[in-house]
Chains A and B, each alone.
Chain A
Amino acid sequence: MNLLLAAEAEGGFHVPSLETLFEFPAFLFEDTLFALNRTGLLYLIAAGIVCALMLTAFRAPKVVPGKFQAAMESVVGFVRDNIVLEVMGPDGLRFVPFLTSLFLFIFVNNFYEIMPFVQFPTTGRMAVPALLALTVWFVFIAVGVKNQGLKYFKNAIVLPGVPFAIHFLLVPIEFISTFIVRPLTLAVRLFANMMAGHILLAIAFIAANAFLIDFHAWPFGFFPEGASGAVIGIFALAAGPLLVAFELLVGVLQAYIFTILTAVYISGALHPDH
C-alpha cells in the first residue's frame, strides 16, 4: 500500500527500490536478537498454517476421507509417488514426512506472493531458503555417514575407474559440486525465483496504476502520461492477472524442484553408486 503511495507521491512511474519492496521495519522487540518484522511474522504464520493443515487432516483420519482429508492425502501421495518412489525407490519411504513438510512449508511461503493482503513472497528473502538448504545439507551428509560410514566422503568425491592422474582434477571438482554448490544453488534458486517474481508483479501493477489513473486530479484523471503511456498501462493491466497465474505456477514448481532435488541428494547418500 505505502508502495503505491510512494510511487504516486511524485506522480508518474517510478520503479520502486528494492528496499521498499523487500525490507520492513521491526515492530516488536526492536534492536534485540528477537526483533520481529512482517517477514518474520509471516514465517511463523506459515509454520502454523502447515501444522494446522496436517493436524486437521490427519489427527483423526477417517477410513472414508472427507473432501479436506482427500485433498491433503493427494498432497502426501504426490510427494510419495511422484518424488520419493520415482527418485529414491522404496527404501526412501521413511523420508516422506520430512519431504512433505518441506514441500508444504515452501509452497505456503511462495503462495504468500499472490495471497491477497499479504502479497509478499517470504522466500524472496534469503533467510529461510538458506536455512532450508543448510538443513538439507546436514540431512544428506548425516544420511550418507549413517549408511556408508566415513567412506561416504570417499565415495562422494572419488570416482572409480578413472586414470590416476585425472583424480587431481576430478576430486576438487566433485568436492566443490557436492558439498558447496549443492546447498548454494538450492538456496539461490528458490530465493532468486521468488524475488524476481515479486519484482515483476510489483512493476506490472505499479505501471498499470501509474499510466492509467491519475489520483492527483479530482475525482479521477485518466491517462496521466498521454496516449503512449496509456498503451503501456493497458498492456501492464492485461499482464497483471496473467503474471499472477504464472507466479502460482512458479511457486508450485519451485517447491516441487526444491523437494525433488532434496530427494535426489538424499538418495545419492543412501546408495553408493558412482
Chain B
Amino acid sequence: MDLVFLAQAAEGGQQASNLGNGLVYGLAAIGPGLGIGYLVGKSVESMARQPEAAGMVRTTMFLGIAFVEALALFGFVLAFII
C-alpha cells in the first residue's frame, strides 16, 4: 500500500495533504536519526578512550553530523513544499 493511497484514504482534501506532509518529515527523520545516534555514540566512545584526541574527534563529529543532518532537513523543507 503506497503512501499516496494511505494519505487519500485518510479523508481527502486538506487533511490528506497534512498527513502527507507529516509522513514526509517523519520518514525523512528515521535514517538521519539512526545515523546521528550511531555517529555521536562512536565519537563519545573514542573520546573516552583517547581524551587527548577529543578536539579532532569533535571537529570530525560535527562535520559528519552536518552531512547526515542535511537529509532530515531536506525532508523538513519538502514537507512544506509538497
Shortest distance between the CB of A82 and any CB in chain B (Å): 7
Instruction: Give which listed residue, A86, A185, A253, contacts B59 with CB less than 8 A.
Output: A86
B12 beta carbon closer than 8 Å to chain A? no
Residue contact A188 to B59, C-beta cutoff 8 Å: no
Instruction: Give which listed residue, B55, B62, B69, contacts A256 with CB less than 8 A.
Output: B62
Residue contact B66 to A189, C-beta cutoff 8 Å: yes
Which secondary structure dominates where chain A touches chain B?
A: helix
A260 beta carbon closer than 8 Å to chain B? yes
Residue contact A87 to B73, C-beta cutoff 8 Å: no
Q: How many A residues touch B, CB cutoff 8 Å? A: 17
Assembly CA distance A192 to B67 (angstroms): 14
Shortest distance between the CB of A184 and any CB in chain B (Å): 9
* B-side contacts of A185, CB under 8 Å: 67, 70
* A-side contacts of B77, CB under 8 Å: 188, 191-192
Residue contact A86 to B63, C-beta cutoff 8 Å: no
Assembly CA distance A181 to B62 (angstroms): 18
Residue contact B62 to A257, C-beta cutoff 8 Å: yes
Given A188-B77, A261-B63, are A86 and B70 neighbors across the interface (CB < 8 Å)?
Answer: no
Q: How many B residues touch A, CB cutoff 8 Å? A: 15
Residue contact A196 to B76, C-beta cutoff 8 Å: yes
Assembly CA distance A188 to B73 (angstroms): 7
Instruction: Give which listed residue, A18, A86, A191, A257, contacts B56 with CB less than 8 A.
Output: A86
Interface string of B49-62 (1 = CB under 8 A from A): 00000011001001
Residue contact B73 to A86, C-beta cutoff 8 Å: no
Instruction: Give which listed residue, B56, B62, B74, B76, contacts A260 with CB less than 8 A.
Output: B62
Shortest distance between the CB of B29 and any CB in chain A (Å): 11
Q: Which residues of A contact B (CB under 8 A)?
A: 18, 82, 86-87, 185, 188-189, 191-193, 196, 253, 256-257, 260-261, 264
17 contacts between A and B (CB under 8 A): A18-B80, A82-B59, A86-B55, A86-B56, A86-B59, A185-B70, A188-B70, A188-B74, A189-B69, A192-B76, A193-B73, A196-B73, A256-B62, A257-B62, A260-B62, A260-B63, A264-B63
- Other A-B contacts than A87-B59, A257-B66, 4 sampled, CB-CB below 8 A, are A189-B66, A196-B76, A260-B59, A264-B63
